[in-house]
Amino acid sequence: MSDQKLFTPVTVGNNTLTNRLAMAPMTRNRAHNEANAPTDLHAEYYSQRASAGLILSEGSQVSQQGMGYIDTAGIHSKEQVKGWKTVLDRVHEKGGVMYCQLWHVGRVSHAYFQDGDAPVSSSAKNAGGKSFTPNGFEPTATPRALSTDEVVEVVEEFRRGARNAIDAGFDGVQIHGANGYLVEQFLHDSINDRTDRYGGSIENRARFLFEVLNAVIEEVGAERTSLRLSPSNLMNTDNDSQSKALYEYVIRRLDEEYELAFLELVEPLADLSNHEHLAKNVLDTYGPLYNGVLMTNGDYSREEAIAIVEEGKADMVSFAKLFLANPDLPKRFAINAELNEPDTATFYGGGEEGYTDYPFLDEVKVNTE
């Protein structure tokens, strides 16, 4: 095995991880049951990937209202907790460590998931995106703005999600603060037009995020709490007119006032050529502001991941698509073996195909070039 730092242990919250490679959160739309509970198939999929230093679960809705796509697993009901318990038992049996990503899609939803009602958001603005429903991709619905009291209730739903996750055996939780979902719907002034304490100034727009963080930390401890942010994201949002000032404020505050298990920052995944106000390199821009355990994500190669950790720019690197296609990614990376190609056709929905049938390395082909 390699002696590069990427393949060495790191302490994250209560856990000592065997390597610095994480499986990034991935929605796979395979909770095909009335309860949207994880199944034995989920347990097989995640346990196959237990050699990751850390697994981040698929985004798991903290309430029915927080659901936006068909067959996503939740973390708000007894059946869901029971399903996740099976998953965690299997992952732990193999020595894995796994956090639950707590998700509320806000406006990126459809009346189908809301009993015919409008989804909720910071403001009544349509995402102009697509929601994956039983009838295929359909336009997102125009949301209604949450009342001030309802915002407090949603904060409590995150708290309950965190409690449920720990009860199910997860080692910690990750608040999904990325990709245009509810947290970004509060953060970004392209969406948030509120006039109460959750809108207006940067501090007010960040209030929802920090209230969610505080509630989750109060419930399960900072050492089991992490956060994912995508400061230059353009998915489901036009981001913020003062994006750099906004994210500097958030990340400085995280650094000064919190001791999270880790912070995960996602690199821009879209073309930013017409968006000069967004940071082109998220890690270089915001990484230096944060002294805690830092994870980076976004279209990296093996070599880039090795270099980033070696240079101390981040403590961990998470991979989504490559982990999806390579259950034994740490081993493959360590020996520079060939990689399976991810099949985009089976990313969302379906069964075992493209989920639990990616081959492990049986014959090791070492790349010596």
Ligand X SMILES: Cc1cc2nc3c(=O)[nH]c(=O)nc-3n(C[C@H](O)[C@H](O)[C@H](O)COP(=O)(O)O)c2cc1C
Instruction: Assess 25 for contact with ligand X (CB under 6 A).
Output: yes
The alpha carbon dihedral of 159, 160, 162, 167 has a sign of positive
Which C-beta is closer to ligand X: that of 66 or that of 199? 66
Cβ proximity to ligand X, 208 vs 323, nearer residue? 323
Q: Are 70 and 137 in contact (CB under 8 A)?
A: no
User: Smallest Cα–Cα separation from 359: which of 318, 308, 325?
Assistant: 325
> Which x/- pattern, by CB under 6 A, does the window 247-266 give for ligand X?
-------------------x
Smaller CB distance to ligand X: residue 27 or 145?
A: 27
**Residue 302 binding ligand X, by CB under 6 A:** no
Q: Map the footprint of ligand X across residues 143-172, applying CB under 6 A.
A: none
The residue within the footprint of ligand X, chosen from 93, 193, 284, 299 (CB under 6 A), is 299
Size of the site for ligand X (CB under 6 A): 21
- Distance, CA of 148 to CA of 53 (rounded, Å): 40
Query: Residues with catalytic annotation?
Result: 181
| Torsion-angle region of 68 (φ positive above 0: left; ψ -120 to 50: alpha; else: beta) | alpha
Q: Is 103 helix (H, G, I), strand (E, B) or coil?
A: strand
Site residues for ligand X, window 109-138 (CB under 6 A)?
none
Nearer to ligand X among residue 145 and residue 213 (C-beta): 213
Does 42 bind ligand X (CB under 6 A)? Our answer is no
Helix (H, G, I), strand (E, B) or coil at 9: coil
- Residue of 268, 274, 259, 260 whose CA lies nearest to 286: 268
- CB environment 164-185: b (16+ within 10 A), e (fewer): bbbebbbbbbbbbbbbbbbbbb
Contact between 59 and ligand X by CB under 6 A: the answer reads yes
Question: Residue from 176, 205, 207, 224 that binds ligand X (CB under 6 A)?
Answer: 176
Indicate which single residue of 12, 46, 51, 58 sits in contact with ligand X (rule: CB under 6 A). Answer: 58
Give the C-alpha separation, 311 to 286, whole Å: 16
**Residue 26 or residue 166: which is nearer to ligand X going by CB?**
26
The CA distance from 139 to 207, in Å, is 29
Binding span for ligand X by CB under 6 A among 18-26, 162-170, 193-201, 329-337: 18-26
For residue 294, give the nearest of 265, 266, 319, 269 by alpha carbon: 265
Least Å distance, CB 277 to ligand X, is 21
Stretch that binds ligand X, among 36-44, 175-183, 302-310, 349-357 (CB under 6 A): 175-183
Work out whether 297 is an interface residue with ligand X (CB under 6 A): yes
Residue 321 interacting with ligand X (CB under 6 A): yes
Contact segment (CB under 6 A) with ligand X among 22-30, 112-120, 132-140, 352-360 equals 22-30
DSSP class of residue 63 equals S
b/e string for 274-284 if b means 16 or more Cβ within 10 A?
Answer: ebeebbeebbe
Q: Which stretch binds ligand X (CB under 6 A): 24-32, 129-137, 152-160, 243-251?
A: 24-32
Q: Which is nearer to ligand X, 129 or 200 (CB)?
A: 129
Provide, rounded to whole angstroms, the least separation between the CB of residue 354 and ligand X.
10
- Neighbour-count burial of 303, counting CB atoms closer than 10 A to its CB (0-12 exposed, 13-18 middle, 19+ buried): exposed
Decide: is 319 part of the binding site for ligand X (CB under 6 A): yes
In the bound state with ligand X, the residue whose beta carbon lies nearer, of 17 and 329, is 329
Instruction: Give, as ranges, the residues between 74 and 103 that touch ligand X (CB under 6 A).
Output: 101
Q: What angle do CA 296, 322, 48 make, to 5 degrees?
A: 105
Distance in Å, CB of 311 to ligand X, minimum? 19
We find the least distance from the C-beta atom of residue 229 to ligand X, in angstroms, to be 10
Q: How far is CA 299 from the centre of its chain?
A: 15
Whether the CA torsion 339, 340, 341, 342 is positive or negative: it is: negative
Q: Smaller CB distance to ligand X: residue 47 or 101?
A: 101
Residue ranges in contact with ligand X by CB under 6 A = 24-27, 58-59, 101, 176, 178-179, 228, 266, 269, 297-299, 319-322, 347
